Structure 1
Amino acid sequence: MALSIVRRATRCRLRRGIRPLTTDPPRGVQNPTPRVFSGIQPTGIPHLGNYLGALQSWVSLQEEFSSVLYSIVDLHSITVPQNPDALRDSVLDMTACLLACGVNPAKSCLFQQSQVPEHAQLGWILSCLTSLPRLRHLPQWKMKSESQKNEGSVGLFTYPVLQAADILLYLSTHVPVGDDQAQHLQLTQDLARIFNYQYGEFFPIPRALMGSSKKIRSLRDPLVKMSKSDPHTLATVRLTDTPDEIVMKFRKAVTDFTSEVTYDPEKRPGVSNMVAIHSAVTGLSPEEVVKQSRGLETAQYKHVVAEAVITKLTPIREEVHRLRGDKGFLREVLTRGTHRARELAAPVYDKVCRIIGLR
């Protein structure tokens, strides 16, 4: 009865658009150790939007928090078909990219999700606390299932519960998220509350760390986000693109027929995307970028932005190529990270099992 009341309250909050309160830690979890958790799927080389929107902040969070975990979430990646050999290589490629971007295994725990079995085990327990209507509320299920002609797998439907397990397994207190992941974090918060309500206070309620970078849009369609899965080869700038490839992609980028450089995302999304990228890679404000670009036509400005992106990405690209040549080192980094993650995860999962009566 009590559990159904919590669920009804959760559904009401969603309908009213009210976010769950996350100001105070729950009673019984007194002053939990501040801990950051985030994950990334090994589904191709990260692109410029991934780097500016998430990975840069991952690096800075290592300096702000004493306990940080970053996971290559390969279990999430198999919600859609994967080639086994390609998946194995992608895990190592992602490891190389994260290290090249500045993720430091001495300051954070970098590990492969599937090698810590407690993720899936806690995911099952949390799935038993999750209603079907609650998952149907999540927009990404609708979007992804429609892209698969309404034949999405059970794993695709329930993967937000596994996301919740990823976070709660480490008693995480902070999660860096973008706008498109906010509802998934709300599910995590609600599942922590449901568990705490039914079994007593145990899980901290994780708080969102919202990124400050501008959203990076597709170079071919500035109305949508830059995406690894975009079929148009000129739409996405990847971290391993060569300078020539970057110049070509920006030269072909969609803007408009006005030559002046201005920042107006509503009326001039294409040019504004150029300004947002330029701002993000240089650290200048959009207003400063526009001021510096006075007198330039759009075609000239595209080249300026391309050069700024090349300057930013060249050291990363070179380090990725160097690291990809040492797979033994990459595997060693993941092995050490997995060992540390299991040290943290095992006692939490053991206590969950004891709390609910499995041990």
Structure 2
Amino acid sequence: MSSRVLSSSRSQCRLVKPILNYRCASTRNTTPEARRPRRILSGIQPTGIPHLGNYLGALSNWVKLQRDALPEDELIYTVVGWHALTLPQKPKELFKSRQDMMAVLLAVGLDPKRSIIFHQDHNPSHTELAWIFNCMTSLGQLRRMTTWKSKLATARNTKNESDIDESLLNAGLLTYPVLQAADILIYRATHVPVGDDQTQHIELCRDLADLFNRRFKGKGSMFSLPQIIKTQTKRILSLRDPSAKMSKSAPDLNSRILLTDTAPQIQAKIRSSVTDGLGELTYDPEARPGTANLLTILGAITGQEDLHALAATYSGKGHAELKTDTADAIEELLRGPRAEFERLRVETAYLNEVAEDGARRSKEKTDVTMKEVKARIGLA
């Protein structure tokens, strides 16, 4: 594949060198030539500029999936605006964030000529199928989901999820795993790259696919059961509170590195990150979560998987050297995507063109699915 990923007369951006390996339980130990074609889908919420955790845990992996895909593989990436509404949003800020997120996806190296890139809310089939699935999902299943509790805890700036007042829970936040299932199954996706915190949602998605197949029979199964693709990078934690993951909604701005942060801002945030006063550096996530978090970040960027060995390279040194190296590595990683994002975010016409083309291509796939779904349930 060419390293030029935007084949527009006006816009070109470079493919960011991938820094992560990925694995899929269903295709492990299988050569690319031997496996079946895959239809991969993933989405990201337009709730502010992505942070380092988003980049290491998702975006760079999407680029790698695109780079390593077979010609027969299909890749679908969406900006999930409907999901953003599960927590209060300011309309003008959400509108801008949607456009910025489209620019981010292109800036990090996704190619709209190779992947379908679009806004979820431009395709009404997502919410149409979600309603059907809502009518099949029990309240007990939804209450067992843990993510809505963590989202409310983050929004209320509390660590104790048991202290959350459930009267603050809106129906959309409770049922958004059902919409996520619809996002996946409307394309009959075979593989979904997610982090550990989303595994429970994919299990619900598989349950709904299986339930639909058994309840509404036809010529073969309507939906395949999607497989999870997990990245090997561990969760990136908050720089100020290493007991929690890095989050765009955390009140402390110094808790996260944003894609748009300058080199001085990155250095300042890493210097002020919480570590410990112990001596020799070691990788111990339980006893030394702040130090372990910096080693995780540095290891993910440099490709060093053995974090104990990485810590050993700092023998005779301290946190100051580790923080300097981590800040330098982050700046080297983000410099290119940051510059490309700043260039693309003002090219409104081009961003709209990409979004419209992606929506058209997505509807070509989902219209076929919805026609069969409606026929099976008796609405057509």
Do the two structures share a fold, i.e. TM-score over 0.5?
A: yes
Deviations along 1:228-262, one digit per CA (max 9) or x if unpaired, are 11111111000110000000001101100124222
CA, structure 1 residues 223+143, in 2 after alignment: closer, same or farther (shift >3 Å)? closer
User: What amino acid is the match of 1:82?
Assistant: Q
* Aligned residue pair count: 332
Q: What is the root-mean-square deviation in Å for CA atoms of aligned residues?
A: 1.8
- Tell which deviates more after alignment, 280-289 or 83-92: 280-289
Displacement of 1:304 in angstroms is: 1.4
Matched residue, 2:301:
281
CA distance, structure 2, for counterparts of residue 23 and residue 284 of structure 1: 25
**Is structure 2 residue 269 aligned with structure 1 residue 249?**
yes
CA distance, structure 2, for counterparts of residue 110 and residue 289 of structure 1: 37
1:113 to 112, 115, 120: 120
2:90 to 57, 77, 83: 83
- Tell which deviates more after alignment, 223-232 or 145-154: 145-154
Matched residue, 1:39:
43
Q: Unaligned stretches of 5+ in structure 2?
A: 1-24, 28-34, 157-163
Displacement of 1:184 in angstroms is: 0.6
Work out whether residues 258 and 298 of structure 1, in 8 Å CA contact, stay in contact via their aligned partners in 2.
no
**Is structure 2 residue 174 aligned with structure 1 residue 174?**
no
Work out whether residues 260 and 298 of structure 1, in 8 Å CA contact, stay in contact via their aligned partners in 2.
no
CA distance, structure 1, for counterparts of residue 142 and residue 68 of structure 2: 33
Matched residue, 1:6:
none
2:326 to 301, 305, 311: 305
**Is structure 2 residue 225 aligned with structure 1 residue 205?**
yes
Matched residue, 1:52:
56
Matched residue, 1:183:
200
CA distance, structure 1, for counterparts of residue 256 and residue 77 of structure 2: 24
CA distance, structure 2, for counterparts of residue 84 and residue 173 of structure 1: 34
**Is structure 2 residue 340 aligned with structure 1 residue 315?**
no
CA distance, structure 2, for counterparts of residue 348 and residue 42 of structure 1: 26
CA distance, structure 2, for counterparts of residue 78 and residue 49 of structure 1: 22
Displacement of 1:145 in angstroms is: 5.0
CA distance, structure 2, for counterparts of residue 259 and residue 97 of structure 1: 40
Displacement of 1:32 in angstroms is: 8.4
Displacement of 1:355 in angstroms is: 1.2
1:336 to 337, 357, 375: 357
Q: Unaligned stretches of 5+ in structure 1?
A: 1-21, 25-30
Deviations along 1:67-93, one digit per CA (max 9) or x if unpaired, are 010110000101122111111110111
Matched residue, 1:102:
109
Matched residue, 1:295:
316
**Is structure 2 residue 177 aligned with structure 1 residue 160?**
yes
**Superposition TM-score, scaled by structure 2 size:** 0.84
Displacement of 1:199 in angstroms is: 1.1
Matched residue, 2:235:
215
Displacement of 1:287 in angstroms is: 3.9
Matched residue, 2:22:
none
Displacement of 1:99 in angstroms is: 1.2
User: What amino acid is the match of 1:212?
Assistant: Q
**Higher helix proportion:** 1
**Superposition TM-score, scaled by structure 1 size:** 0.89
Deviations along 1:36-93, one digit per CA (max 9) or x if unpaired, are 1111000000000110011111111113332010110000101122111111110111
